[in-house]
Amino acid sequence: MDVKEIIKLLNEDFVFEIEAALVYVRNAFIMKECDPSRVTEAIGIDEMRHMNWLADLIVKRGGKPSMEHHELDFGGDDLKGMLARQASLESGAVERYKRHIEVIGDADKEVVGVLRHILDEEKRHRKEFRERLERLK
C-alpha cells in the first residue's frame, strides 16, 4: 500500500471523526438527562482528539486533512434516538478502523499503532452509549 492510499484512508477516518464530534456536541446540549449528556460531551472531546491525531498523521505523510463531511444525522431529538445513533456511529467506527488496520498492515506501523489506540477508545465509547441505551428499556 502506498502513501497516497494511506492518506486516503486516514482522511476517511478524519471525516467520520468530524461527523461524530459534531453530532455528539450538538446532542450533549439537547439531552435533558445529565449522565448521558456528560458522557456524550466527554466522548465528543475524545473524537476531537482523534481528529488531531489523524490530521497529524495525514500531514506527516504529505497530505491535507479533508474538512468535507456528509449530511449529519443526529438521531432525532429524543434521548433514545440520539443514543442509538451515537452507538451506531461507534459501531461503524469500530468496523472501519478494523478494516483500515488490516489493509494498512505493515505498510505503516505508526499509522497502525495510532489506529489501534483509536479503535480501543471507539469500542469503549460504543459500550458507554449501549449501556445508557439499555437503561432506557
Give pLDDT, residue 17: 97
List the domains of the chain with CATH numbers.
3-135 (1.20.1260.10)
pTM here is: 0.95
Report d(CA 135, CA 137) in Å as an integer.
6
Q: What is the pLDDT of residue 75?
A: 97
Specify the pLDDT at position 86.
98
CB 57 within 8 A of CB 110: yes
pLDDT at 31: 95
pLDDT for res 68: 87
Q: What is the pLDDT along the chain (137 residues), one digit of tens a residue?
A: 899 999 999 999 999 999 999 999 999 999 999 999 999 999 999 999 999 999 999 999 999 999 988 899 999 999 999 999 999 999 999 999 999 999 999 999 999 999 999 999 999 999 999 999 999 97
pLDDT of residue 69: 84
Q: What is the DSSP string of 26-89?
A: HHHHH--SHHHHHHHHHHHHHHHHHHHHHHHHHHHTT-------PPP----SSHHHHHHHHHHH
Q: Residue 12 in contact with residue 118, Cβ under 8 Å?
A: no
pLDDT digits (tens, 9 = 90+) for 55-75: 999 999 999 999 988 899 999
| CA-based nearest residue to 37, from 73, 91, 87, 79 | 79
